[in-house]
A and B are shown apart, each in its own frame.
Chain A
Amino acid sequence: MKGLINKERWITVVLVAIFFLAWEWSAGNGFISKFIFPQPSRVFASMIELTASGELTENLFATLTRLFFGFLLGGIPGLLIGLFMGWRPRIRRMLTPVISALHPIPKIALFPILLVLFGIGETSMSILIALAVFFPTLVNAMEGARQINTVYLEVASNVNASRWLVFRRIIFPSSLPFVFAGAQIALNIGLIVTISVEMLQGRNGLGRMMWFGWQMMRLEQVYSVIFIIGIMGLAINALINACMRWFAPWYDIRGQAEY
């Protein structure tokens, strides 16, 4: 199994390498515009330059901080409300229409309202990111709590377990795989919204850097940031996998077995 995974990894690496080599070669030969599609080697050089000057690290840190606080601010309420909605059908019936109506609203469209409410600054940005993170976290946590086999709840009520014990020992841990899947979606959406909002308003951050690259017509800077964002996506994936292995080692990816 492990060998198979490694083999598949290598195929991915080779395919990506071919893509970059083709890009490098066609931009160098003038098949595609060097200006619009600067060669990967030039993007890479600009990345090193930006790192050396400290600009990239600083902006990356600013983006990560915003994402982190926004994620906590939206994720924790989303998690709790979602679990309760999944656990208690009456709460679910009560709140589902509200959630369904609010979910599709483009969160970035609420930014002007937040600016009026909280002023220009980190508060409105964090709240916007939190709003974006809230919904996917909630929906997944709800599904996680809903899919619990009722026999587990019967076991608990058979021994007169308190509600707090049921939540702590059954609802919460058994939902974890779904919660992590939700966290992955939420982090990615959160990152999208963070970068978008930085383009609009940030003093710093990766979004600002990209916008700056466009304004100065330094497209290799834009590409650098895009590459960095891709690497962040890989990191999010690795983080979630690690969490899954650490906090839910019992979970088999092929589906939850019942015992």
Chain B
Amino acid sequence: MLPYAHCSPQCKPQSQRMPARLVAWVCGICTGGTLDGASLRDFKLSFQVDNIRKEFSSQNGSVVAIENINFLAGAEEFICIVGPSGCGKTTLLKIIAGLALPTSGSVNFLSALNPNQLRSAMVFQDLALFPWMNVLDNVAFGLEALGVDKAQRRTRALKFLDRLGLAGFAKNYPHELSGGMRQRAAILRAFLCEPQILLMDEPFGALDAQTRLVMQDELLRIWKEFKHTVVYVTHDIEEAILLGDRVLVMSGRPSNIRADIRVELPRPRHLTDQSHPEIADLRFQIWKMLEEEVRKEVGSINV
């Protein structure tokens, strides 16, 4: 539950060319010794977000969406980002994905990439399954782009479709599926190409509460198997605590990272679990931070 010092906005950004090991060492220091010597040696880094700032300019002048964003992501780490709506969470995710360019700052990837491996794949907020492709073609699209041949695409996709309970729907179009099924297909499309980093933009935002619980469970199972770095954007505090190794709390516009909270709870986690009173503390702590921002936002609407 110790905040990472290097993630506070006051902290100087890490040098861009700093070797990964050194960065890991700094990171270890910064965590206040959360990582001991042994685990530090095993602590592999995935990427570094270095002092990112994004400005959107329009006819009415420019708006700073995010600024002073700094954090390190470890390989195999599940990072949740929470923040008030419109704080630039999606923008940050798109910058990490390389779909948008920051006005200044950079994202540095610190681990080697296998040939034909994708650096990152994204699950989009509105899922963005192609309505004109059946489920099989949809989930295999990433593989198709990577140049995997048709037969292999098929076997790999079918294997996972089966595991996710979608095998009978391979030839169906997305509009013929339920919301939960579509969600699973969208996630499958991203992780089937085995990217190093999985970026998720409120993937379960449109689901009902029960389906969401089941989907969160499935997501964790998938993650345990593939061990990607996951960056998961959500506005749901409980979801963030339930899923994340770390929760980054973003402030309102121009937003930066207000806190970087390590969630030291054993998995599997259950929100109703009485044996972990820390959950309630965490929830309260994060909410206190967000409440201020949300009140500011609501206040500004009233004015």
Query: Which residues of chain B come closer than 8 Å to A170, judged between CB atoms?
Result: 130
Known: A173-B132, A258-B131, A259-B175; 4 extra A-B contacts, CB below 8 A, are: A159-B121, A159-B193, A251-B132, A259-B126
Q: State whether the Cβ of A19 lies closer than 8 Å to any Cβ in chain B.
A: no
Complex Cα spacing A158 to B123, Å: 10
Residue from A155, A160, A161, A248 in contact with B132 in the complex, judged by beta carbons closer than 8 Å:
A248
Complex Cα spacing A174 to B193, Å: 23
Residue of A nearest to B124 (CB): A151
Chain A-chain B contacts (Cβ-Cβ < 8 Å), number: 77
Contact B175 A158 (CB under 8 A): no
Residue from B98, B120, B122, B132 in contact with A250 in the complex, judged by beta carbons closer than 8 Å:
B132
Closest beta carbon of chain A to B297's beta carbon, Å: 25
Q: State whether the Cβ of A162 lies closer than 8 Å to any Cβ in chain B.
A: yes
Closest beta carbon of chain B to A141's beta carbon, Å: 15
A-B contact pairs, 27 of them (CB 8 A): A149-B128, A151-B126, A154-B94, A154-B122, A154-B124, A155-B122, A155-B124, A158-B98, A159-B118, A159-B141, A159-B142, A159-B145, A160-B145, A161-B145, A162-B145, A169-B141, A173-B132, A174-B132, A250-B131, A250-B173, A250-B175, A251-B131, A258-B128, A259-B126, A259-B127, A259-B174, A259-B175
Closest beta carbon of chain A to B172's beta carbon, Å: 10
Q: State whether the Cβ of B54 lies closer than 8 Å to any Cβ in chain A.
A: no
Q: State whether the Cβ of A45 lies closer than 8 Å to any Cβ in chain B.
A: no
Q: State whether the Cβ of A176 lies closer than 8 Å to any Cβ in chain B.
A: yes
Q: State whether the Cβ of B239 lies closer than 8 Å to any Cβ in chain A.
A: no
Query: Which residues of chain B come closer than 8 Å to A52, judged between CB atoms?
Result: none
Q: State whether the Cβ of A242 lies closer than 8 Å to any Cβ in chain B.
A: no
- Over the window 98-123 of chain B, the binary record of Cβ atoms lying under 8 Å from chain A Cβ atoms (1 yes, 0 no) is 11000000000000000000101110
Complex Cα spacing A174 to B173, Å: 13
Query: Which residues of chain B come closer than 8 Å to A159, judged between CB atoms?
Result: 118, 121, 141-142, 145-146, 193
- Over the window 118-161 of chain A, the binary record of Cβ atoms lying under 8 Å from chain B Cβ atoms (1 yes, 0 no) is 00000000000000000000000000000001011011111111
Residue from A160, A252, A258 in contact with B126 in the complex, judged by beta carbons closer than 8 Å:
A258
Contact B132 A257 (CB under 8 A): no
Complex Cα spacing A149 to B121, Å: 19
* B positions within 8 Å CB-CB of A: 94, 97-99, 118, 120-122, 124, 126-133, 141-142, 144-146, 173-175, 182, 193
Complex Cα spacing A170 to B145, Å: 12
Complex Cα spacing A251 to B145, Å: 24
Q: State whether the Cβ of A235 lies closer than 8 Å to any Cβ in chain B.
A: no
For residues 158 through 215 of chain A, which have their beta carbon under 8 Å from a beta carbon of chain B? 158-162, 165, 169-170, 173-174, 176
Q: State whether the Cβ of A97 lies closer than 8 Å to any Cβ in chain B.
A: no
Contact B131 A256 (CB under 8 A): yes
Contact B175 A257 (CB under 8 A): yes
Complex Cα spacing A234 to B228, Å: 57
Contact B99 A154 (CB under 8 A): yes
Q: State whether the Cβ of A249 lies closer than 8 Å to any Cβ in chain B.
A: yes
Residue of A nearest to B146 (CB): A159
Contact B144 A155 (CB under 8 A): no
Residue of B nearest to A157 (CB): B99
Contact A165 B144 (CB under 8 A): yes
Contact A158 B120 (CB under 8 A): yes
Complex Cα spacing A161 to B140, Å: 12
Complex Cα spacing A156 to B144, Å: 10
Query: Which residues of chain B come closer than 8 Å to A160, judged between CB atoms?
Result: 118, 145-146
Query: Which residues of chain B come closer than 8 Å to A250, judged between CB atoms?
Result: 131-132, 173-175
